[in-house]
Structures are given as C-alpha cells and as structure tokens.
Amino acid sequence: MTFTLMGCGEASFAPASMARLAQANIRFNHISIVATDMVKNAYSDDVSPEDMTTQLRRAITSKLSELQGDRVYNIGIKVTGYMLANPAVPTVSSPKSVLMLSVSVWNDSPDNKLMLPPSTVIAVDGLYGSALSIAKSQGSKDQRLAALTVRAGVEIAQYLARNAQSLEASTP
C-alpha cells in the first residue's frame, strides 16, 4: 500500500497530469465510488454518503472523461474519511477540508491483467490559504464539498500520472 499526501495550491498540477495520462493512451470504463463507511472528523459538517458519492463522481468523471485512449481501465474509490471545514468553528487560520480516499485501478484484460496496488490519496482544499481557497472554505456546505471533491479529482489524476508507466505497459 502506498500513501500519498497532496494539496499544493489550487489545481495547478492538473494540466501536466492530464497531459501525461493522455500520452499513456488510456481511458476509464467503470468508476466505482463507495462512501458508506466513511469516518467524519468531530469538527466537520455532516455529509451524507449519497452527497459525497454524487459530488465525487461528478468531479472524477469530469477529470477522467478527457481521456479517450485505447487501453481501458476501471477505477475504484472508497471514501475512508473526511473533514468538511465548518466556517462556524473558530480556528487560528482558515479552516481546511480534507478527504481521505483509497484508490484501486485495474483492467479486465484476460491476456495481460493489471492491478495497481491500492493507494491512499489525501486531498486537502485550501492548504495554502489562497483567496480562492478561503472563499471556498467559507461558502455553503455544497460549495465546500464541491471544492473538496474537485481537489480530490486533481489528486487522483496526479496519482494516475505517477503510475502512467505501469498503465502503458499493459496491453489493451
């Protein structure tokens, strides 16, 4: 199992990640998201599993639908924990939202089966307190969840880009 902590700035690394993935000639057929056993931080706003799944699916699909290669993969995402920053909770700096995910990628090729080792991906929205992040962390609950899941989409794209060589090695 690998562990990845990302969250530098806004979505600045996403274009490079997506370019690397496009070169890998891949696409995603099935995106499975499970949020039934997610653990909520004590200071977090509540998020239902349905809301989390819907927002995360929207963000991930938006990011991965750009990929239209010949190598077909599936991705499984389990939400293991979250902290949706609550602007009503006083903090020294702006509140941060965090999403912890377990990500698995595999193909269904009978000739050259590939399954990447499961990885823990942690997305942090507003880590560096830019004006945009602060505005997002103080918006409505839906706005804060949308911003966090978009950040998660960027982190997953980065995880996939780091594993592009393994994905390229598989036959379609």
pLDDT per residue as tens digits for the range 5-23: 444 444 444 567 778 877 8
State the pLDDT at residue 134.
Answer: 45
- Averaged confidence pLDDT in the chain: 81
- The answer to whether 7 and 153 have CB atoms below 8 angstroms apart is no
Q: Which residues make beta-bridge pairs with 4?
A: 121
Assess whether pLDDT exceeds 90 at residue 76. yes
Sign of the torsion angle spanned by Cα atoms 141, 142, 143, 149: positive
| Residue range 119-150, pLDDT digits in tens | 999 999 865 444 344 444 567 889 889 999 99
Return all residues near 49 (Cβ < 8 A) that are at least 6 apart: 35, 36, 38, 79
Q: Give the confidence band of 104 by pLDDT, cuts at 50, 70, 90.
A: very high
Residue with the larger pLDDT of the pair 55 and 2: 55
Question: CB–CB of 32/156 below 8 Å?
Answer: no
Question: What is the C-alpha separation between 123 and 126, in angstroms, rounded?
Answer: 10
pTM score, two decimals? 0.81
Query: Residue 111 above 80 pLDDT?
Result: no
What pLDDT is attached to residue 112?
A: 72
- The CA distance from 98 to 80, in Å, is 11
Cα-to-chain-centroid distance, residue 45: 19
| pLDDT of 165 | 86
142 burial level (CB within 10 Å; 0-12, 13-18, 19+)? exposed
For residue 59, pLDDT over 90 is answered with yes
Q: Can you give the pLDDT at residue 170?
A: 66
- Residue 29: which residues within 8 A CB-CB, separation 6 or more? 72, 73, 74
Alpha helices in 6-48 (DSSP H): 14-23
